[in-house]
Structure 1
């Protein structure tokens, strides 16, 4: 299947440079870089919400890829969004990305949630199923609810000693506890084999982390079950992490 290249009229609408589009990579929603701008398909109502926030949000020690507006002030043109390109690569620096998650949570604490999608997608459904599970190991999580990032590990770039870059804001379907973004980063790192199990001890001081991790791995399990391109190999890695978390929880009871 040939991936659609950003149309010339979209580049023109954002007053972009003329040039040959180059694949920008997974962290940029598999978009296209033309000069100093990355063009990616805009997914749902959250695209405008993310762009508006990325234009003004300040995060201690973290950079955001700022949005580019079209000539008439829009963030989305013909289903495409545009962001400023910043050098960096996806990395196995999971512990550092957990810290990014905590700083991002502080910055997003008072921000309103994005508008609800007109039609629930598989990620929304997976999130709802994960938080509706009632197995004995689950218990209620106290604390304030807030908007957060559902896919931070694959949206955070590193370039030497420079501050990390978050390329986009992918919100939870509804507000969740403050530490849930960090829990998703830890779970995703463990599933990918990008970090050792010791990360669970390094961040065990986070409130309700054990419960947030269980919800996070449940979310990934439901996404895998619902996604049309899921694989048994991914499911096995998710199950490995879920078994690890349940076993550790049982040892502490």
Structure 2
């Protein structure tokens, strides 16, 4: 991923002054300039989100809303912008944090439930999009030996999760908190799936990467089959990235997925 800062012409187009400073988190490509967050590689996803979210009324959450250029365009020279929102990453050691993240996701999903399915989702070919299709039996892959047995167990626990709609498929590190304000949702990763699936991803991440106790499952009221499908999604993502040559510690990640599966009774 590029770590080049936004050039002066981009700052000018969005009406902000430098200097821009890099932001941590995500894919490491975001920069803050003034009250905006700028990201490269703008495309159909950002343009669609910008238009779709324009009429969404936040209730129970804040939204890092897309911002257009001075000429009314949603991108300039491949860069897009969203409004900076106050907030910090929460304390992931507390079970209450996961309740709050899930609650913010539920509020967002209620607010966007009327949106229609964007056609560009079918064209996505990144590892996350492919892994999502694997988790929903829309794409067949051969899992690495480290994952084969667990994939079989997870598939045996899958159940229908309800109707699909637009969901944020990566809420875990994209909900920020500030005193006296509703939680802020940033960097929407759009998928067309049941909301329970997005919630399952949060629980799966909590168990795999944040040392959450097994009790988090009951605390957030997310069904085990949703977490099972989410674990299959995350494991398929690792599988896809490894196949593409990314440096992945397969044994460590297999261990984490297996412990998370055990926490939900698999």
Aligned: 1:143 with 2:157: no
TM-score, scaled relative to structure 2: 0.82
Q: How does 1:23-102 map to 2 (within 5 A)?
A: 23-27=22-26, 30-42=29-41, 44-91=43-90, 92=92, 93-102=97-106
Asked if the contact 1:65/1:83 (under 8 Å) is kept, the reply is yes
TM-score, scaled relative to structure 1: 0.85
Counterparts of 1:104 and 1:34, CA distance in 2: 26
Taking only aligned residues, the RMSD between alpha carbons, in angstroms, comes to 2.3
Counterparts of 1:73 and 1:65, CA distance in 2: 18
Aligned residue number for residue 231 of structure 1: 249
Choose 144-153 or 118-127, whichever is displaced more: 118-127
Structure 1 residues 116, 2: closer, same or farther in 2, change over 3 A?
A: closer
Q: How does 1:117-132 map to 2 (within 5 A)?
A: 117=121, 118-132=123-137
* Per-residue deviation, 1:197: 1.7
Aligned residue number for residue 251 of structure 1: none
Q: How does 1:157-172 map to 2 (within 5 A)?
A: 157-172=176-191
Asked if the contact 2:11/2:18 (under 8 Å) is kept, the reply is no
Aligned residue number for residue 196 of structure 2: 179
Choose 111-120 or 157-166, whichever is displaced more: 111-120
* Per-residue deviation, 1:39: 0.5
Which secondary structure state, in structure 1, belongs to the residue aligned with residue 173 of structure 2?
helix
Aligned: 1:109 with 2:113: yes
Counterparts of 2:25 and 2:257, CA distance in 1: 21
Instruction: Report the count of equivalent residues.
Output: 241
Structure 1 unaligned runs (5+)? 248-253
Structure 2 unaligned runs (5+)? 138-150
* Per-residue deviation, 1:23: 1.4
Structure 1 residues 194, 162: closer, same or farther in 2, change over 3 A?
A: farther
